[in-house]
Structure 1
Amino acid sequence: MNTLKFKTNIKCGACVATVTPHLTKAVGIESWQVDLQDPNRTLTVTTDKSPDEITQLVQEAGYDANLV
């Protein structure tokens, strides 16, 4: 498992709720969280997936994610 961090445009609890089904349904993601207090709205994911796969899942939910 790797821990990956992404800068996102996820801004609030409702945004997190929108992303939740996309990340929780994905096989290979052990855990994830978004730090809404961080100005970069950092998404931290513990996963076997590649950064591109995580970015794709977040984009499917309508948000941006850039590996940091």
Structure 2
Amino acid sequence: METKELKFKTTLNCGGCVSKVQSDLDNAEGICHWNVDTDNADKILTVSAKGITEDEVVNIIKHKGFKAEPIV
């Protein structure tokens, strides 16, 4: 299975927000690497995914009280 890059517009505004989702993203099966660009106006979450879907990533973020929408 090849790794694909998923990008999401999020409401993760700062390091504190990012730290709230960190352990869930770190421990999610199918995520190889992830990063949030909090300097970008859209707070872009980039995920290197191997076997996890966009919906699953969105649900991880939603579960922590934030929003994420796939960038197509």
Q: Which letter does structure 2 place at the counterpart of 1:25?
A: N
Pairing 1:61–2:68 present:
no
Q: What is the distance in 1 between the residues matched to 2:62 and 2:24?
A: 9
Q: What is the distance in 2 between the residues matched to 1:23 and 1:33?
A: 10
Q: Secondary structure at the match of 1:6?
A: strand
Contact in 2 for aligned 1:22/1:60 (Cα 8 Å): no
Aligned CA-pair RMSD = 0.6
1:55, distance to aligned residue in structure 2 (A): 0.3
TM-score of the aligned structures, taking structure 1 as reference length:
0.96
Q: Which letter does structure 2 place at the counterpart of 1:50?
A: T
TM-score of the aligned structures, taking structure 2 as reference length:
0.91
User: For residue 40 of structure 1, what is the aligned residue in structure 2?
Assistant: 42
1:25, distance to aligned residue in structure 2 (A): 1.1
Gaps of 5+ in 1: none
Pairing 1:20–2:22 present:
yes
Choose 1 or 2 for highest CA Rg: 2
Q: What is the distance in 1 between the residues matched to 2:64 and 2:49?
A: 18
1:36-63: per-residue Cα shift (whole Å, max 9, x none)? 1100000000012110010001111111
- The alignment covers a number of residue pairs equal to 68
* Paired-residue identity, %: 35
Q: Secondary structure at the match of 2:18?
A: helix
